[in-house]
Chain A
């Protein structure tokens, strides 16, 4: 069962019941789930987690939906790889890749959607909807196919073909909107007022966003119940970034890290920082849409919206709802934020592919280029335990790297091969 006490406004603290709500009636602040950590601490342990399924549902006691019969296409528990090739190139001896591009619908979104879809069915919804930069549409459509309910997914019309097909194949109602993601999101917010649907990133948002905590849990578990020195994370809205931090701190407070006794969560569950969590959180945005990095690097506490113009469409959110909370996480963790030049995105994709055999989407190119910047600048030392999060699959954004296709063209004969091959050498 889910161990929830209710919802609470992150800004003014007003409390709400466990219902499909996401915004405080009074101040419009975001609602967050409030956990019954006292009960959770009695039932969860390293052993209980380790005995669970090889999906995010091994952490069911820490998620806001019933975990006994979830909408599950086996999201999560993705590989954590020692990155010897990339590490050697960047001068990092202790680098790991959390490869979330191999989730069932090929992005980390399966984590959040599995939680949101499970919660939507608990609430009795028969239609699940979303506004998407692409990956979310794929994941919502896939989970709805699994659950046997209707999906209605809204996407900007200029999305990459791989993401459109990657969503359409599950036969959702696919709505292509002539506008930017921010405009699609605004439209869906208005529709959510009038349609009795579970919009995963609107009225399901308090539950949905919690799914990203599992990116923190898994890394800690896969490292042997310890936290890394640095994590390098792509960001658009800032939601996943803040939830990874929350996940690491929950593990510490619940006594799930080796050698760390459990401790109180204090008065605010969302801002708890356990001293054992020494991880520095490094956010990577693409220069063409970097409102959070811009705010951080100019010492602003507010995030000023921008009009996105980036190759990394999954990061192209000009008005990041979790931006101010992400800034606080950077500050508390001693981390950083960086706007990766657009011209470095493809280089990042190619560097990861050529050194590690992992093909990531444009957001991953941003992340790897941001990691390179951290290594080059000395912000990450050679022996620091570092995890870079790769959250989406390159097959969805092939347009960005079409120039790599440059084959040796030959006739079907040995002589033709040898003449061309010798020339190529």
Chain B
């Protein structure tokens, strides 16, 4: 998961970092974004890997042209070639921008990131994990219990993670989780006649 550190850096230092000449400590303890896991290269590299698997699979399927006829692997091979070319252009553009000293293309503004609480900074990761867990237990423990727990956890991730002293904030969150679970049940099971999984089936 992408991690962006709060320190803001100039484009010039960004270029310097490519050579790796500056010690880590002088970089304010940050990784250079365009070349780190969270940088602009991550998507092209991931897509290159996916495209290579896709192309190998297509070629293993059958030859693109067989006895003069186009086969099922022809179009995927063409797509893979287009993908390679377009990723090449994206990478070339990224290098040109870095060479011109353009600001690195980072998702959120580095300065803004500093003011974001830690829970929010990793918010996307937490939501992904919690959602994965929800999907995993959805059929096992049923809609009602899994959804109640899922919504309760989400209210912490999307709202104030520290509800404050006293029981009132907790009661509000539990009540919200209950109401959303019940409304979801009413919408899907009662109005749209969808059979949702239950704990006992």
Q: Do A and B come from one complex?
A: no
Q: Which residues of A contact B (CB under 8 A)?
A: none
